[in-house]
Amino acid sequence: MSDEQVLRRYLCIHYPHKVSPVAKGALTAPRIVEALTSVIGPNVKAMQSMLFIKSEGRPGQAWHQDECFIPTRDRSLTAVWIALDDATVENGCLWVLPGSHQRGVIYPARPQQDPRFDCTTEAYDFPYRDDDAVPVQVPAGTAVVFNGYLLHRSLSNSGGRGYRRALANHYMSAESLLPWRLPADGEQMAVADYRDIVIVAGVDPYAYKGIADIARPHSRPDQEGGCDR
């Protein structure tokens, strides 16, 4: 198969910064770091990167808050979503509910079976309507920076042909612990402070703990809109 045919088989590549110098460079790019230190503070660490590949007809993601999945609980979790293609309503750009991060509330989540979305849970019971959502249409090369409590989603790529690729990186204050997860015999085991991180600005107050190499880069195959996890 051609590179393009292979790429169309996948929805997402997790932790590309561990195998790609280009992705690692994007994680620590000076202009990105400048924006992060202005909203988080002088000491910033990264814990995750994801390369989203959404070719035509492929699903988006339902309403969610990143904080629900990455539990910083100090409100410092920040996403940097970098458009690698022009992101439009037609090809499945981000939609956000402006101001939804300000309450600092983590809304409940439930399984969903909507074919417009990848097999994820959806947030619900929040005081906003779909009509309140604003599309984030940006040209390729634009970085969208938003808080981990912000409700956001994306719809399917309804374009005739083409991708809506994006590199999404997640950061937080280096002063805060990260009670995240470790893989344990195929399951997830919570730890008090997840240390598979990259310091991107300032100092690491917990440097004495060392840095772990836990997460493994992997790809998430396209299920043609199905829910086979």
pLDDT tens for 69-99 read 999 989 999 999 999 999 999 999 999 999 9
Which superfamily does CATH assign the domain made up of 3-221 to? q2cbj1_9rhob like domain (2.60.120.620)
* Residue 64, CA distances (Å) to 142, 182, 223 in order: 22, 22, 20
Phi, psi dihedrals of residue 147, rounded to the nearest 5°: -75, 150
Residue 183 pairs with which residues in a beta bridge? 188
The pLDDT > 90 percentage for the chain reads: 77
Q: What is the structure's pLDDT at 119?
A: 74
- pLDDT > 90? residue 186: no
Taking the C-alpha atoms of residue 25 and residue 17, their distance in angstroms, rounded to an integer, is: 8
Residue 51 CB-density burial (10 A; 0-12 exposed, 13-18 middle, 19+ buried): buried
